[in-house]
Amino acid sequence: MGLILTIDDFEVGRTKIALDPEQETDLESYIEQVENDYLPKLFGVDLYNLFVIDFNLPLAGTPKGRFIIPFNEFNLQNDCVLIQSIGIEEMLKCFVYYLYLRDDVTRSTTVGLERILGENSEKANGISHDLTSRYNEGVDAFRTIQHYMSQFNAIDYPEYKGVNLSYANVY
């Protein structure tokens, strides 16, 4: 089970993923993988560990103190600099959506990997169903949150040591 996301987060909206009951375990593993990979990169290890402690304090599942702003959607302006973010939860949903659906074009069977084909269907590529766009939205949020912690309000995040994340390219 993930720290922030659950399977229910993918039932509606732009990151909706249609699942068979057998696929729920797969999606849970993607949620865990994304949270374990991307959150330490977002914050840096020390600040990530403090975030996890904060997130698990009483009223678990809600950020407190200095983590409220980066966690939630925000629009902030300082002089002529405007920063906007969809928040950490939406950012993670974009990454899970991208990685899960990118890998879902094949299915593991007892005879090996098989490509899923429908009788009256056509395979959609990453461009036609916005896989890359969702990932890049996540990267935008990732970078904006990092900018907030490293430059916009650096005094509140002295432990910040996040790493850069690149955009996905469709070509």
User: What's the gap between Cα 129 and its chain centre?
Assistant: 18
Cα–Cα distances (Å) from 24 to 4, 17, 88, 113, 161, in that order, read 16, 10, 22, 19, 34
CB-based contact 71:89 (threshold 8 Å): yes
**What does the pLDDT read at residue 131?**
84
Query: Residues 72-106: pLDDT tens digits?
Result: 999 999 888 899 999 999 999 999 999 998 887 65
Pairing status of strand 112-115 against strand 106-109: antiparallel
**For the CA atoms of 150, 41, 163, 89, what is the dihedral angle to 10 degrees?**
-50
Whether 110 shows a pLDDT value over 70: the answer reads no
Cα–Cα distances (Å) from 66 to 3, 18, 39, 61, 155, in that order, read 18, 35, 16, 15, 11
Band (111; pLDDT cuts 50, 70, 90): low
Phi and psi at residue 65, to the nearest 5°: 55, -130
Containing 84, the helix (H) or strand (E) segment is: strand 81-85
Whether 124 shows a pLDDT value over 80: the answer reads no
**What does the pLDDT read at residue 126?**
45
Whether 154 shows a pLDDT value over 80: the answer reads yes
